[in-house]
């Protein structure tokens, strides 16, 4: 077996982003296994573990906890939108199958295209706008518009993707300003932990040992996912490897089918095909633009 260090940077990036997808799919799996607990309590554990690990990594880094003065507004916006995204995503995971929830969260790159136009003054071309429209049409197959409560749960899942999309737009803005990745991760994780802390203090729901273990594993997997995806994007540009992030949907679907008896219906599967298909098409277009 070849040592990972002997692979090209692009190949390493692909492996790391697939590893991130595996970690994040297990994160959603353990959220589901934790059972009937308040969403905010689950979100607290996910972020608290990540905050501890990110703080340790930052403390050992060359720049320490130094933050650029110009970064504070964007850090707060990234953290605020990220909190909304996580809450909605976790709530959706509890209410619909994990493959659907993961897929709706993966609308974030398409939301990022929209908000990059307004927040970063970047121009989207016809291909990108077409990709956004087609992706949202695929999302409709998953949320299935109706007067049933499941439709509301699906919309909340899509809102989680929107929150993540805006958050990623601010991450891109921070990156352009030269802010370090570990600072962004630590600030977001710590901010989110503090946001959910009052709920833990006043409305804590007693947990079994099994539920505690599941939530701790949720945090561990989320941290692993964040570290892997950060490493991936240091190895190769997003335009070359981001499409492999959709491997998370496949991992989540397998976990849901094998262990949770969650079999996506035909409309959801068609939605997956549409969204992943348009993501692959957009990736292929971007790659060939520079040839």
- Give the model confidence (pLDDT) of 113-152 as tens digits: 888 888 888 888 888 899 999 999 999 999 988 878 889 9
Structural domain contains residue 1: no
Structural domain contains residue 3: no
Structural domain contains residue 38: yes
Query: What pLDDT is recorded for position 271?
Result: 93
* Averaged pLDDT for residues 76-103: 93
Taking only the tens place, the pLDDT of each residue in 232-269 is 877 776 667 878 889 999 999 999 999 999 999 999 99
Place of tokens 């491997």: 247
56 pLDDT above the threshold of 70: yes
Structural domain contains residue 140: yes
2 pLDDT above the threshold of 60: no
Structural domain contains residue 217: yes
Structural domain contains residue 63: yes
Query: What pLDDT is recorded for position 199?
Result: 93
Can you give the pTM of this predicted structure? 0.87
Q: CA torsion angle for 232, 284, 250, 33 (degrees, to 10)?
A: 50
291 pLDDT above the threshold of 70: no
Q: How confident is the model at residue 1 (pLDDT cuts 50, 70, 90)?
A: very low
67 pLDDT above the threshold of 50: yes
Structural domain contains residue 5: no
Q: Which residues, including other chains, have CB under 8 Å from residue 269's CB and lie 6 or more apart? A: none
Number of domains in the chain: 1
Structural domain contains residue 47: yes
C-alpha separations of 257 from 58, 73, 99, 144, 253 in Å: 38, 42, 9, 20, 6
Extract the tokens encoding 37: 């607990």
Which structural domain, as residue segments, surrounds residue 130?
A: 10-289
């Amino acid at each position: 077996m070849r040592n990972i260090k002997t692979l090209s940077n692009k190949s390493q990036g692909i492996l790391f982003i697939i590893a991130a997808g595996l970690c994040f799919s297990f994160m959603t799996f353990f959220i589901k296994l934790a059972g009937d607990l308040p969403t905010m309590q689950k979100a607290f554990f996910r972020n608290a573990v990540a905050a501890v690990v990110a703080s340790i990594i930052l403390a050992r880094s060359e720049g320490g906890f130094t933050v650029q003065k110009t970064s504070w507004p964007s850090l707060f916006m990234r953290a605020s939108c990220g909190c909304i995204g996580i809450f909605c995503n976790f709530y959706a995971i509890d209410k619909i199958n994990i493959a659907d929830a993961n897929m709706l969260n993966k609308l974030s790159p398409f939301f990022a295209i929209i908000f990059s136009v307004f927040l970063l003054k970047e121009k989207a071309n016809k291909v990108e706008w077409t990709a956004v429209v087609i992706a949202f049409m695929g999302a409709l197959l998953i949320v299935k518009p109706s007067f049933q409560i499941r439709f509301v749960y699906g919309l909340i899942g899509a809102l989680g993707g929107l929150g993540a999309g805006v958050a990623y737009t601010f991450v891109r803005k921070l990156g352009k300003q030269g802010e370090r990745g570990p600072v962004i991760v630590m600030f977001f994780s710590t901010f989110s932990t503090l946001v959910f802390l009052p709920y833990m203090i006043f409305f804590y729901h007693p947990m079994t040992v099994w539920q505690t273990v599941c939530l701790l594993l949720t945090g561990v997997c989320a941290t692993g996912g964040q570290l892997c995806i950060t490493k991936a994007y240091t190895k190769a540009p997003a335009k070359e490897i981001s499409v492999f992030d959709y491997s998370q949907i496949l991992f989540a679907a397998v976990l849901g089918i094998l262990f949770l008896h969650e079999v996506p219906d035909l409309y959801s599967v068609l939605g997956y095909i549409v969204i992943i298909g348009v993501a692959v098409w957009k990736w292929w277009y971007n790659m060939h633009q520079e040839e």
